[in-house]
Amino acid sequence: MEMEKTNQVHEGRNIKRFREMLGIKQETLAYELGDGWTQKKVSQLEAKESIEKDILEQVAKILNVSSEAIQHFNEESAINIISSTFHDNASGVNYKCEMTFNPIEKLIESHEENKKLYERLLESEKSKVELLEKLLNSK
């Protein structure tokens, strides 16, 4: 008797979901994957139910998610959790749902880091201008 897999995860579809959530085009992912990769090849990858481990890890690294997130993300389960949490919260029960990866937070962190770097560079340039002005004025 053959065991039937329930809630089979489609890794290619999950790659597509993460890629789209991050606003990354297939062409961009193909470029990041390197030589031999095209938009069409990425499209074919996203159509595959199971992805080779080395490719899965490479894609996960580019998308800045764990390969496990791609392997185990199940939209139906996520919808059930959200639905259950909504109904439970409505009845007064409070569940804490923690996400291991939030693309918006990553984007904000990156923006804040870039802003700090820009401010440091700006201060450095201001210091140089002041020093040059002092040198010019002293002559």
Measure the CA–CA gap between 13 and 120, rounded to whole angstroms: 42
Q: Is 0.85 topped by the overall pTM?
A: no
Q: In Å, how far are 12, 38, 65, 68, 111 from 45, measured between CA atoms?
A: 6, 11, 17, 17, 31
Strongest mean pLDDT among 39-43, 72-76, 79-83, 107-111: 39-43
Q: What is the C-alpha to C-alpha distance for residues 46 and 37, in angstroms, rounded to an integer?
A: 13
Q: Is pLDDT larger for residue 118 or for residue 56? A: 56
- Segment 43-59 mean pLDDT: 95
Integer distance in angstroms from the first to the last C-alpha of the chain?
Answer: 95
Asked which of 10-19, 77-86, 109-118 is least confident by mean pLDDT, the reply is: 77-86
Question: For residues 15 and 38, what is the distance between their CA atoms, to the nearest angstrom?
Answer: 16
Q: What is the dihedral of CA 130, 131, 133, 136, to 10 degrees?
A: 180
Structure tokens at 85: 């949490």
Enumerate helices (H) and strands (E) in the chain, giving the number of each.
7, 0
Place 94 in a pLDDT band, splitting at 50, 70 and 90: very low
CA distance 73 to 93: 25
Structure tokens at 93: 């029960």
3-class state of residue 14 by DSSP = helix
Burial of 85 per CB tally in 10 Å (0-12, 13-18, 19+): middle
